[in-house]
Amino acid sequence: MTRQPLAPSAPFEPKRMVMVPAIDLLQGRLVRLVQGQYDQILPYGQGPVHLAQAYCHEGAEGLHVIDLDGARLGSWQNLQLIGEIVRSAGVPVQAGGGARDAAQVRSALRLGVERVVISTAALGDPAQLRRLVTEFDSQLVVSLDARAGDVVTEGWTVGTGMGLMDAARRVVETGVSRLIYTDVLRDGTLSGPGLAGLERLLPLGVPVMVAGGVATYRDLERLRGAGAEAAIVGRALLDGTISLPAAIAAAGGAAPAPAEA
């Protein structure tokens, strides 16, 4: 099966925003963290592979899978499970949480992961980031996760001392072609997406995917209108606050958003 790209690469067309369901893994289980805190875990009973298949049957164009154990420990901990998701999903998967060097990026790509998400590796060593960009190019996406203006790494546990824009300029200057932006204090809270951060990042000239905070179809419309390339959504889908088919329509602008409950 020939899989289509997870999101349009060029030309970037904000009106064709993609809705990407998120699957977060902790010790092989499906969970969500609230505000990136490992002591605020929302467990869900669905099996991750079964959920991935269900999302694809409902029309998902891609999946965003994060190895939370790997994000904290510095190397993949759920890579075998990610491989199972890739094989069963039939759509492109971008995965992160356990890639801090080229070998770890390659290990995910060998399993069929479409793009590998990095954060700690991107901000810790500019020379290493340049090497990664040279080798992997568009197969790499950098996640900028900000808590109260400070970009955090190592599973959202360590502050970098860098503001969002300083960090963003630094990675874009190395040739990174795509960013993910998460306002960590909104993540898992259903409090609305981080539009202000998105609007600051877009002038850098690279596509930006936004994660965290989406609760309603209107949130998706606002992200599309602001110019996001994709909306990454976890808890709202898992809690049933929004349905995936209606959210895909709202995100893509193909139909009016359903009335809010």
- Torsion angles phi and psi, residue 188, rounded to 5: 75, 10
Q: Is 208 helix (H, G, I), strand (E, B) or coil?
A: strand
Neighbours of 205 (CB within 10 A): 9
Phi, psi torsion values for 184, nearest 5 degrees: -60, -35
Pure H helices in 125-176: 126-136, 164-173
Joined together, the tokens standing for residue 201 give 């990042």
Six-digit token string for 244? 């995936």
Quote the tokens at residue 221: 């419309």
According to DSSP H, which parts of 74-124 are helical? 79-89, 102-110, 120-124
8 Å CB contact between 93 and 85: yes
Rg (CA), the chain: 16
Return d(Cα 133, Cα 138) in angstroms, integer.
8
Q: CA-CA-CA-CA torsion for 117, 120, 124, 128, nearest 10 degrees? A: -30
> How far apart, in Å, are the Cα atoms of 119 and each of 182, 238, 250?
11, 25, 29
Active-site annotation, residues = 24, 145
Tokens coding 47: 């099996």
Q: Cα dihedral sign for 142, 147, 153, 156?
A: negative
